[in-house]
Chain A
Amino acid sequence: MKKDDENVGKALDKETTRRGFLKGAGAAAGFVVATTAIGGIRPPLAQAQQPKPVMKYLFVERQNCTGCRACEYACSMAHEGVVRPAASRIHVRKYKGIVDVPVICHHCDDAPCIAACPLDPPAIRKDPETNGIILDSETCLGSNCLRCQEACPAQFIRVHPDTGTPLMCDMCGGDPECVKACAQQATDPLAPCLWAGAGGAGVNMSFRKVTPDQAAKDLINQMYYPNTDGKRR
């Protein structure tokens, strides 16, 4: 009898079971993805392995976003030292109360923001190690210029409420805080909507062309079919 109880106890110990699964599957997993209950995509399992590789790109599975803004909280904590979503780099936009669109930097390989900077050398550069976009706030012309903001195809760039300089995503040195915050929010039944990868796989270059407004339209169309305009009736 006693032995049975012990076995039941072990089977119920979720923590152990789950970790074991990760260890076993992680090595061979690579880019294995799993579909969740509502159809989202889980991030690569390899993420849990040590040592952590430097992440160079952000990805987003918009269907999974709950609009909780934990990413904004984490981003402003990391860069401003306080919770201040208005100064967060990443931001989440809500449409019609039914879809949420996280707006991220795609760390484009051709970086239109850097190309648009009128200064020589530009006030914006890309860290070759982490792919993070770094702004030199000393030389940046700030609110007098903002050509980088116009050039960003994803409409990611906002300006700092105090200084007026553009808010750029520096990938937090290769281990983005927003991604970690999203993972903490997204325990079952929902997978995270944000994740990071070491390679862009070209997806970032194609994904960036989708503006938040367009993304919202796509999401409504995709999730709320047959009601393709999202109007409640």
Chain B
Amino acid sequence: MAAPKGGYFGRILVIDLTNRKTSERKVSDDDFRKYIGGCGMGAYLLYSALKKGHDPLAEDSPVFIGTGPLNGTSCVSTRMSVVNKSPHTGLLSHAEVGGHFANEIKWAGWDGIYITGRSRKPVMLFIKDSEVKFIDARDIWGKDTEESEELVLREVGDPDAKVALIGPAGENEVSFAALIVERSRAAARTGTGALMGNKKLKAVAVRGTRAVPTVDVKKAYRAMEDAKKLAVEREGWQGIKRYGTANLLEMKHYGSGSLITKNFQTTWWPAIDNLGAEEAARTFWKKHTACSNCPVHCMKTGVIRGGKYDGLIAEGPEYETGGLLGSNLGLTEFGGMMACIEMADAMGLDAISAGGVLGFTMECVQRGVLSAKDLDGVDLKFGNADAAVEMLRKIAYKDGKAGKLLARGVKRMSEEIGKGSEAWAVHTKGKEIAAHDPRGDKGRGPSYAMGTCGGDHHEGGDPKTLARWAMINSLTICSFVGGYPWGKETPKVFIDMLNPLCGWNMSDDEYWTTAKRIITLERCFQVREGVRRKQDILPKRFTTEKLPEGPKKGAVYTEEDTRKMQDSVYAYFGWDDDGIPTDATLTSLGLDFAMADMQAARKA
């Protein structure tokens, strides 16, 4: 079990909040080569640490913040993956987020942070290289993410430190609370915020001063430079440079007919002209912001000038935030949408789940199942931005009857409300889904239904793409850079960087086998929790209601589509007819340790 030669430090920082102790977990080169890092390493650590049915909010439930081998090197735009058992779905979940935080972890000499235990009082961590400080966070507890970040930076006294923290939503354990990194970037969809709130961990600040060990510096950096050139030269990404992902709002409305609108009732929303990228570029955006070393700078911030929200500074819209908190809520005015997005960021909410919950509730109001009376007097109708902003705040604080109800998420809300609301409760595996309607954009179907986490738009539209995503999320690289994660350059472009960096001799075959191993291990976790073929489905709305208008009028995601998608994924990864990985598959991937669990699942 040799230590890694390069690309990794070979150690994960383990934090025990209960006893305020830290330790170091050594990880061998073999294990890194098998699980790479990020979501793959997270799946491995969590699979062995947790038993079936483990309470996600138990004291010993871990949060793993994982980096990959390329973090901290000159590779373009490296991210991190946050892995935990989600309190929202009860399943293994991973969230990827950009910025500089992940690289600071690496420069501090760690391959990841593994947090367990529960503090009695609010606490924050400051990790500077090998030194870890537990700092009292009682004065910061209760503050929104903006004020908190300022206070955390002042407290740690290092202006170059990078901060990840939770807002009021996390503190109040809203099960879809996000971890907010560097003020505007959300590691969401995993309920990580709720876990951190439960652990009374308000913030983690990191600052590193080291360099990542590299076996063959010249060769590795050469390969990274070549990869970067692809990123710079690809014309396809010029739109992302200019508009971020916001121009997808117009594209999905006019082009692919998959713009989420009014809780998936349609995909046609002409008011998108007032919400989309062109409006933002014309009236709102003032600045482009990039992750480490990235020439794409897809993040935009701006300020509203004039009107009701005069002076509102916010980040966005991206496609998901603008879709879920814009057209999904039937909004027609830019300022109102930005107010919703900024409120979600400030409260530390997952904008996708929060948007899903608001859309669902608005449809309940539209159909007369709920009224303002049930919602603490808030007039939550489609198109009412002010009501949506107010309700986001109430969700974060679980304020009143309405806040408590909406903080439960769509699945549990519809179970509680009843009255036929299951028909428009749009979720997969208990999670609200992202802003691409799979009837118009069929490639999103497998991503939502077959992806590990459920409801996730970044999992892949076919078996091979699922494998690509598994590697992207384990290498913790951004999928936007030059498009090479999607093109014929994969896996060569990654292998060319990895081999000289880590001193490996990875082949194309090994790359894809690693991808299969990671997805299969994640699947083992979900199977252990009870996921089978009958959970790998899309919400009823997509299989029964035809799109009423727009470029894909009449489209529906048929039962046949669903069955085909399931069969192709099971066959590609070597899972049996019910979606349980077979013994032969487990052996060939070196996952024998999961065999007993899978056999038990097959009998159950």
Q: Which of A's residues lie within 8 Å of B, judged by CB?
A: 38, 63, 66-70, 73, 76-77, 80-87, 91, 93-94, 96-100, 161, 184-190, 212, 223-227, 230-233
Contact = CB atoms under 8 A, between A and B. Distances in A.
Given A225-B303, A233-B312, A66 B288 contact: yes
B541 interface: no
Given A184-B232, A226-B310, A96 B209 contact: no
A84 B211 contact: yes
B290 interface: yes
A7 B286 CA distance: 38
Interface stretch (B168-176, B291-299, B416-424): B291-299
A224 B300 CA distance: 13
**B217, B295, B313: most-surrounded residue (chain A CB, <10 A):** B313
B313 A99 contact: no
A5 to B, nearest CB: 20
Contacts of B315: 97-98
Interface string B553-595: 0000000000000000000000000000000000000000000
B311 interface: yes
A68 B290 contact: yes
Contact of B292 (A68, A188, A227, A233): A68
Nearest to A181: B293
Contact of B313 (A161, A188, A227): A227
B212 interface: yes
Which one of B159, B289, B305 has the greatest number of beta carbons of chain A within 10 Å? B289
Given A83-B211, A226-B305, 11 more contacts: A66-B289, A68-B292, A83-B212, A98-B287, A98-B313, A99-B287, A184-B232, A190-B297, A223-B287, A226-B303, A227-B311
27 contacts: A38-B288, A66-B288, A67-B289, A68-B290, A68-B291, A70-B293, A80-B211, A81-B217, A84-B211, A86-B207, A86-B210, A87-B209, A96-B150, A97-B301, A97-B315, A98-B315, A99-B287, A161-B209, A184-B232, A185-B295, A187-B232, A187-B295, A188-B241, A223-B303, A226-B305, A231-B146, A231-B313
B134 to A, nearest CB: 23
A194 to B, nearest CB: 14
A85 B208 CA distance: 9
Interface residues of B, number: 50
Contacts of B150: 96
Given A68-B297, A98-B301, A100-B289, A77 B184 contact: no
A99 to B, nearest CB: 7
Interface string B61-90: 000000000001110000000000000000
B295 A68 contact: yes
A151 B107 CA distance: 29
A85 B107 contact: yes
A82 B211 contact: yes
Interface string B93-112: 00000001000000100000
Of the candidates B184, B291, B293, the one having the most CB atoms from chain A within 10 angstroms of its own CB is B293
Contacts of B187: none
Contacts of A63: 287
A188 B241 CA distance: 8
B328 interface: no
Contacts of A96: 146, 149-150, 183
B452 to A, nearest CB: 30
B210 A224 contact: no
A85 B161 CA distance: 12
Interface string B207-234: 1111110100100010000001000100
A96 B145 CA distance: 11
B240 to A, nearest CB: 11
Contacts of B210: 84, 86, 161
B211 A77 contact: no
Nearest to A74: B74
Of all A-B residue pairs in the complex, the 9 with the closest CB atoms, nearest first, are: A97-B183, A86-B209, A68-B290, A161-B209, A66-B290, A84-B211, A227-B311, A82-B211, A66-B297
Nearest to A97: B183
A86 B158 CA distance: 12
B71 to A, nearest CB: 10
B342 interface: yes
